[in-house]
Amino acid sequence: MANHKSSLKRIRQEQKRRLHNRYYAKTMRNAVRKLRATTDKAEALAMYPSVQKTLDKLAKVNIIHKNKASNLKSKLARYIQKLG
């Protein structure tokens, strides 16, 4: 167990931040999953901007790496392009 007041506070802050980050990461994964499950091109095109915005926001605050966001966006764009 921590011996200093500051380290106890740091533990509380990290725990709160971890839960916050996990929530947004999970939300992002679900959005990506939902878009990939879509077979209608018009619907996928409508969903893509919001998913892209979410990925960019999470990359900006380092919840996910910027390259991961980039890779996901390009893969999703390619997926939408292939839908007929």
What pTM value is reported for the model? 0.85
Residues 18-57 pLDDT 10s: 999 999 999 999 999 999 999 999 999 999 999 999 999 9
Torsion of CA 54, 57, 60, 61, to 10 degrees: -100
The Cβ of residue 46 has, within 10 Å, a number of other Cβ atoms equal to: 12
The Cβ of residue 32 has, within 10 Å, a number of other Cβ atoms equal to: 18
Q: What is the pLDDT of residue 75?
A: 97
| Residue 68: pLDDT over 80 | yes
Q: What is the CATH number of the domain that holds 38?
A: 1.20.58.110
| Residue 84: pLDDT over 90 | no
Please give the tally of structural domains in the chain: 1
Helices marked H in the chain — which ranges?
5-37, 41-60, 66-82
Supply the range of the domain harboring residue 59.
5-82
